[in-house]
Structure 1
């Protein structure tokens, strides 16, 4: 080998060693990566949406519990209330997000269903059937108002669902009070 060949080989070897040493310095075990501002914002938005969904489902479930209590206390009202209760159950199901289970909308409350999942505190029901309809209408309006208030913070797809559920609640309130007189 000539001197030029040895020098080229030596230069290449030194260059390769320097590259390896430099790479070794920069590829040290990485520490925990700090999330970017976009990732933090996405997490904040996801948490806010989850909280909004939970509030919406809770409002509908509370209304559903009210229907169940009224139907249990006033079975004579079942022909009038069962279709509305079924609708409220469907709304609670639609507003829920994975893992938010609600009794099927087609099944009215039964003794087995109510004893299998007792509510934390029983919903008080007035003995007067007319007064109970007024109270149920007020509960429908309260849930409808909660869904309407949530519209501003909801993402577009969920806002459309909330608007539909709020409108249905207002219609239910009408049917429970004014609709009975017509």
Structure 2
């Protein structure tokens, strides 16, 4: 009997769609070698800041889930490590995990519900990076598309594990 998670075809189709969106966002730009305008640099800085904050928040959530469910630590560490790479890609620095989960942000007591929560947050992150694609410079758009694709795969994998 097949696992209820997404098929390889579904994941590859999703990644292909994300890649196509990334190409579409950058394909119609000029190859003007004069570089980005001050307005574009400012927009890119704002996009990077949003992405950096989202990665830091997601990484803190991974830490909170592992603290609440230590048995999930080995399963979640590769995902958290990739989110940490996203954080540094956008100019952030990995800090020590918070001592406690922020108020109103309790981790579900059930491990499967905690995985589903992480899957939802990863999908929201993937969607957030895609929203910023049209306003980003071509170079940043490629990074955003890659991070979005990675988070999409995380969401699919975590969702099928939940």
Alignment match of 2:88 (pick from 93, 108, 114): 93
Instruction: Quickly say closer, same or farther: Cα 1:150–1:138, change in 2 above 3 A.
Output: same
2:127 aligned with 1:132: no
Structure 1 residue 144: Cα displacement: 0.6
Cross-structure match for 2:148: 166
Greater CA radius of gyration, 1 or 2? 1
Cross-structure match for 2:94: 102
2:64 touches 2:107 (CA, 8 Å); kept in 1? yes
TM-score (norm 2): 0.71
2:55 aligned with 1:60: yes
TM-score (norm 1): 0.63
Structure 1: gaps of 5 or more residues:
1-40, 104-112
Cross-structure match for 1:37: none
2:40 touches 2:137 (CA, 8 Å); kept in 1? no
Structure 1 residue 120: Cα displacement: 9.0
1:140 touches 1:170 (CA, 8 Å); kept in 2? yes
Structure 1 residue 119: Cα displacement: 7.6
Cross-structure match for 1:151: 133
2:40 touches 2:136 (CA, 8 Å); kept in 1? no
Cross-structure match for 1:51: 46
Report matched runs for 1:112-131 at 5 Å: 113-114=96-97, 121-122=102-103, 123-131=105-113
State the superposition RMSD in angstroms.
2.1
Instruction: Quickly say closer, same or farther: Cα 1:119–1:147, change in 2 above 3 A.
Output: farther
Q: Secondary structure at the match of 2:97?
A: helix
1:143 touches 1:166 (CA, 8 Å); kept in 2? yes
Q: Which has the higher contact order (CA 8 A, sep 6+)?
A: 2
Alignment match of 2:75 (pick from 58, 75, 80): 80
Cross-structure match for 1:141: 123
Task: Using the TM superposition, name which of 45-54 and 152-161 deviates more.
Answer: 45-54
